[in-house]
Amino acid sequence: NHVGWGLLTAFTERWHPETGTFHLPIGEMTITLDDVSCLLHVLISGKMLNHVGKSCTIEEGKDMCEEFLNFNRAGCQEEFEKMKGAHIGFRKLQDIYHDNLNQALQAENNQEAPDVAWIMVHFKRFGMHFIEENYTHKDPVAAKFYPLKSGKILDETRTALDRMEVDEVTFCPYEDHRQTRPF
């Protein structure tokens, strides 16, 4: 589920956090809640970690925070005590986001490959590489992809993004996944 650092950098340069969009020559694109649901199988309705019909214990909440948010268990326990349950406040979620962003930027500087399955689903040019037959629609869509060991340098990736045509973008990438994750 990894993309080369050059591709991550090229997309990061086009990200505008004020609007939550990527500015590309073909127009603006946004990571939607549908993307989050289909790619990661993270529920997007109800309170964080306390979804209708899916209550979770504090331990299950810590497991989810650790797995999906890269948020350590000690910090999670502290936040849960403050929120009086398996919930995370917006301010803390924003802090977690910034911490993860800084780690991604550090990984970029060290030429490591962070997890960016969203790019793989929407942009065929950058590799719709599927995992062997073991993938099922019960798995998150992000599980379809092999880790890429992209040798492309940043300038090549920037050029590829700048030359992208509208027909190279998949605007409804989850249609075959709808039975598992309804829109």
Give per-residue pLDDT as tens, 20-36: 788 888 888 888 878 87
**47 bridge partner residues:** 50
Rounded to the nearest 5 percent, the helix, strand and coil shares of the chain are: 50, 10, 40
Residue ranges of the domains in the chain?
Answer: 5-14+21-45+56-172
Q: Whole-number mean pLDDT of the chain?
A: 75
pTM: 0.48
The answer to whether the CB of 148 falls within 8 A of the CB of 127 is yes
128 pLDDT above the threshold of 80: no
